[in-house]
Structure 1
Amino acid sequence: MSPIFSKTIFNELRREGTLCDAVIRVDGVSFKIHRIVLCNSSMFFRELFCSLSPPSEHQVFSFSQVSPIIMSLILDFIYTGSVLVTEENVLELLAGAECFSVQGAVNACCHFLEQRLNIKNCVHIWMLAEFHKCPKLRQKAYLYVLHHFKEVAGFSVKFLQLSVQQLGDLIEQDELNVKQESTVFEAVQHWINYAPQERQGHMATLLSKVRLLFLPSNYLVETVINTDVVRKSVSCMTLVIDAMRTLRESNLERPLTRARLPSAVLMTIGGSERESLTDRMDFYDVRANCWLAMESREKALRVLHGCVFLNGFIYCIGGTDLLNILSSVQRFDLVSHNWQELVPIHKPRKCVSAVALNGCIYAIGGTDGSEQKLAERFQPEDNRWVMIAPMLECRSDACAVALDGKVGGAEDFNGAIESIWCFKLFSDVYKEGIYF
């Protein structure tokens, strides 16, 4: 019997009140349930029911932690595997699901909140995720705050309610996404001014985490030193004076200090220079408005390859070394700067279209001298390429993108095809879209 069929049967029995062996009561509302079903989805209920010795039939369990509406939603999830999460119920549902250890419902709430992260709610969601022990959601919200720091500091009321430890943790991160370090100082000043009597004593702690050496000397003199809370603190003045002395005495254009890392970069990998292959890799720093070289410990020489980013790695697929058309696949680790050889694609080809979606990589089309319609899917955890349904027509050097859970693309190497195709992941079927 399939799990879906089983859930359907159990839910029908629950609605009919058939074979139920316990009752949950919330604020005068009773819910007939099957203990074995609740035990399957919740450690809370498993421990509760198994602690009864001997278990009595139709025992009533009363709870006051949630409302009847939320308990009904939790039971719906336990019996059906799905729940309707809305803006109105998500916070209460998350609290209830966490209280009763219904992890699937917790995950549904976290997914709902993750999809709705914005500059006004990200701090609140970060705090909620921390309180309810949802590490994945907490990390997503935390990174959202880091990557949108200027906007969050300016528009989020919850930002002003952060503790000094939480704010200090944010502003000391290399990943804090700010174009100018003055944004960090002004955010700290804004936080202090929200409750000056309580917070001015924290200025030295927070100022020590601002990268003062990234501030222009005139800003230090005209703005930082002229801030009342800085001028009245010996510790703050010492930090600023030391920074000014370092800036004045340094022979470097910018004294050595840890840089803030951009949250996103544009990379170029391989290719050819003057008709010769190159293993050169460069990345564009949008904040500094400049291109920088990235070092690699090994050489990866190829051109006309598919290239895609997934989970901290850059994958180079197929291509040519100017002598042979390649089936090899290499992966570059952005942390260790090492290349790793992976299992090859099924057929050597260049000008292959590559795109990542749902943790997998799709290599589509390309040419080995003649254009191809074949398509493959790579599953990183298995290091395995799987053939999927071929395209409706041959294409190479096409543009491929992922959107709304689908893979699609347009245009041929010869620029002669105007159609757009779309591949549905769960049906392995291509569908042609509208023309340009």
Structure 2
Amino acid sequence: MELNTKHRKLSKTKNSVRIPSTARSRLTKRKTVVRKRKCACLPENYSIVEFPPIWNELRQNGQLCDGTIVCSDLKSIHVHRAILSAVSPYFRAIFVNSLKKGEPEETKIIVDVPSYHMKLILDYAYTGTCAVTAENVEYLLPYADKFDVVGVIQLCCQFLLQELRPHNCLGIFKFARYYFCGELEKKGKLYIRQNFSRILKECIEFKSLAYDELEDILRDDELNVRNEEIVFQAVKTWVEYDLENRKKYIPSLLSCVRFGHISYKYFKLNILQWQPVVDDMKNQEVLYPAIVFHTLLDSRPGAEADLNDPLARPRIPYEILFAVGGWSAGSPTSFVETYDTRADRWFLSIHMDLTPRAYHGLCSLNNLIYMIGGFDGSDHFNTVRCYDPVTNTWHERACMYQARCYVSVVVHDGLIYALGGYNGRTRMSSVERYYPNKNQWEMTTPMNKQRSDASAASFAGKIYIVGGFNGQEVLNSAEVFDPDSKQWTFIRSMLSPRSGVSLVAYRDCLFALGGFNGYSRLNTGERFNPQRGGDWQEVTEMFSARSNFATALLDDMIFVIGGFNGSTTIPHVECYDGDTLEWYDAAPMNLNRSALSACVLTGLPNARSFSYLAKAVPAAGADQVHPA
């Protein structure tokens, strides 16, 4: 759905709450009051209103009607003036003739609105709701705005909020701004920030943005872009769409790009060689500090960019990776590290109210982190703790039926599954699942095999689990659970036995990475496409062999974190890019850890507090420990 924001805005009579557009330039004081009023749309607060059914019955039967509305297509609609006045200050003012006191009340109104849209507004007046669609919302909202029918405005804004997509969000954002739907405008801007890369590819309206709108987006610290090459590409795409008229904006737009996060090779080949830069000395002057920055950095192999330099100021990440607990320096730990992917930095926190543990399960659900089971060196736990990153607090949740360390944990369809594990006596095949809304666990169908130190993932409506240890041997078998039939079924076995393995659902495939095959730690991986069947296939090897490590999906890449390499715990982190099919080094953790777990939270309202911009000490280059 694309919205046309260029059509003439509907003006209003003196009875309207809002000022006619033609009068806004003259009534500057009144204008300020209107624009600062509380937004009427409030889409997140909307709820269905129930009106007495008799109202609509009277309307449909044409009974007790005492007013008439004549529409622009000359169709007349009989109404009940009291009912229409109850939902619209505009109609109330006209029907009771409040501007001409002492004159007879009006019973007939002529409106410049087609009968189709007028009937939708009447549907709301008589029933509390109306059918908002992609085809009618562009006109229905302005008409509701004209008549001050707040309920219809809310319905339209709620619909548009649900319809936000990369291809239409810019149109909806402009539409919301045009009609002063502040809450919808705010949500639209947030959506644009979070989905900018897709918008650049999919939204044809991007090239029609005004200069100030584009600059506002590109300068935003919270713009969610995997790298700054995307920001430069946005500048290039927008400018070249109308080069003659837009080239004057190049210097200002280039200053939106954080060149310290662009590779020297890309900078030389794509930015310095961009024709508008080659042809214009002013553009070259804007880029001079970036040239000096990259030249100095390139002359010192192995040196890291100074993130305190404005050219290298990192943006605030949309996704925050949390690595929790694990085994370090011979004992379990309660430390939590968060990773800022924009700055490629880890920050260490001490959570005083978190019990040290390792070999636990970890997952995120509704932007909360659940820590399940585990082992502290002596006890095996059935306890569950929940972390709220906004309040920075841990809370106890209902305990599992069975103690589980080496447990496999997965979120599926809003529920948390705990599969297998070790209770201190035996390796288990049992499975239980947690209902967050009820704070209750229930037992469900056990697996075909006993599995501890296995790994599970949710994919295409089913739950998969691979590898593990049954007490006698390391397993290469894999099985799948169908929640509808509540049945476990074996699938093709992996190429290698793996315990301490990590299973990740990524780009239509399941990736089984690393682990221990009974003899050595592995740096190998394999993938399986459940929808195509067939065999497991080898994937590019990791740099480090590791078992009992953590994995997470971040920036559309697989991150592997820490683990045990056969002789020591390691802090090393690397990421797999599905586009290049290659592994890349990322910044190591502050601690060597194995038997840890990790998960990712997205769109946190306090994401800045977990970012480099909040954590870093300006004068120091080292990571700091911050008590939580």
One-letter amino acid of the structure 2 residue matched with residue 10 of structure 1: W
SS at match of 1:18: coil
Contact 2:462/2:480 (8 A) holds in 1: no
Task: Supply the distance in 2 between the matched residues of 1:225 and 1:411 (Cα, whole angstroms).
Answer: 49
TM-score by length of 2: 0.53
User: Quick one: which of 311, 314, 319 aligns to 2:368?
Assistant: 314
1:165-215 C-alpha deviation (Å, 9 max, x unpaired): 111011112333333323322321221222223211111111111112223
Which residue in 2 is equivalent to 1:149? 196
Q: Structure 1 residues 318, 227: CA separation in 2 closer, same or farther (over 3 Å shift)? A: closer
Q: Structure 1 residues 6, 120: CA separation in 2 closer, same or farther (over 3 Å shift)? A: closer
Correspondences of 1:23-34 after superposition (within 5 Å): 23-27=68-72, 28-34=74-80
SS at match of 1:296: strand
SS at match of 1:91: helix
Contact 1:420/1:435 (8 A) holds in 2: no
Give yes or no for the alignment of 1:10 onto 2:20.
Answer: no
Give yes or no for the alignment of 1:82 onto 2:124.
Answer: no
Which residue in 1 is equivalent to 2:218? 171
Give yes or no for the alignment of 1:280 onto 2:335.
Answer: yes
What is the aligned-residue RMSD (CA, Å)? 4.4
Q: Structure 1 residues 113, 189: CA separation in 2 closer, same or farther (over 3 Å shift)? A: same
Give yes or no for the alignment of 1:63 onto 2:118.
Answer: no
Task: Supply the distance in 2 between the matched residues of 1:363 and 1:62 (Cα, whole angstroms).
Answer: 59
1:65-109 C-alpha deviation (Å, 9 max, x unpaired): x32111111211232233223232121122222333333333333
Contact 2:445/2:487 (8 A) holds in 1: no
Contact 2:123/2:130 (8 A) holds in 1: yes
One-letter amino acid of the structure 2 residue matched with residue 31 of structure 1: I
One-letter amino acid of the structure 1 residue matched with residue 56 of structure 2: N
Structure 2: 5+ residue runs without aligned partners? Answer: 1-47, 471-477, 490-628
Deviation of the 1:44 alpha carbon: 4.0
Correspondences of 1:371-382 after superposition (within 5 Å): 377-378=436-437
SS at match of 2:349: coil
One-letter amino acid of the structure 2 residue matched with residue 62 of structure 1: I
Correspondences of 1:20-419 after superposition (within 5 Å): 20-27=65-72, 28-46=74-92, 49=95, 52=98, 53=101, 59-64=107-112, 66-250=113-297, 252-256=303-307, 257-273=312-328, 276-282=331-337, 292-296=345-349, 298-299=351-352, 300-301=354-355, 304=360, 307-310=363-366, 314-316=368-370, 319=373, 322=376, 323=379, 325-326=382-383, 329-333=386-390, 339-342=392-395, 344-345=396-397, 377-378=436-437, 393=444, 418-419=481-482
SS at match of 2:364: strand
Which residue in 1 is equivalent to 2:483? 420
Deviation of the 1:47 alpha carbon: 5.3
Deviation of the 1:232 alpha carbon: 4.5
Which residue in 1 is equivalent to 2:595? none
RCO higher in 1 or 2 (8 Å CA, sep ≥ 6)? 2
Deviation of the 1:275 alpha carbon: 7.5
Contact 1:247/1:255 (8 A) holds in 2: no
Contact 2:247/2:276 (8 A) holds in 1: yes
Contact 1:21/1:58 (8 A) holds in 2: no
TM-score by length of 1: 0.72
1:339-373 C-alpha deviation (Å, 9 max, x unpaired): 2245x44667667989699xxx8778899x89898
Structure 1: 5+ residue runs without aligned partners? Answer: 379-385, 422-431
Contact 2:458/2:464 (8 A) holds in 1: no
Task: Supply the distance in 1 between the matched residues of 2:83 and 2:457 (Cα, whole angstroms).
Answer: 45
Deviation of the 1:241 alpha carbon: 1.2
| Percent pairwise identity | 26
SS at match of 1:295: strand
Q: Structure 1 residues 387, 240: CA separation in 2 closer, same or farther (over 3 Å shift)? A: closer
Contact 2:132/2:156 (8 A) holds in 1: yes
Task: Supply the distance in 2 between the matched residues of 1:77 and 1:395 (Cα, whole angstroms).
Answer: 51
1:239-291 C-alpha deviation (Å, 9 max, x unpaired): 21121112223564223221134433544333555884323334567789x7x
Higher-Rg structure is 2
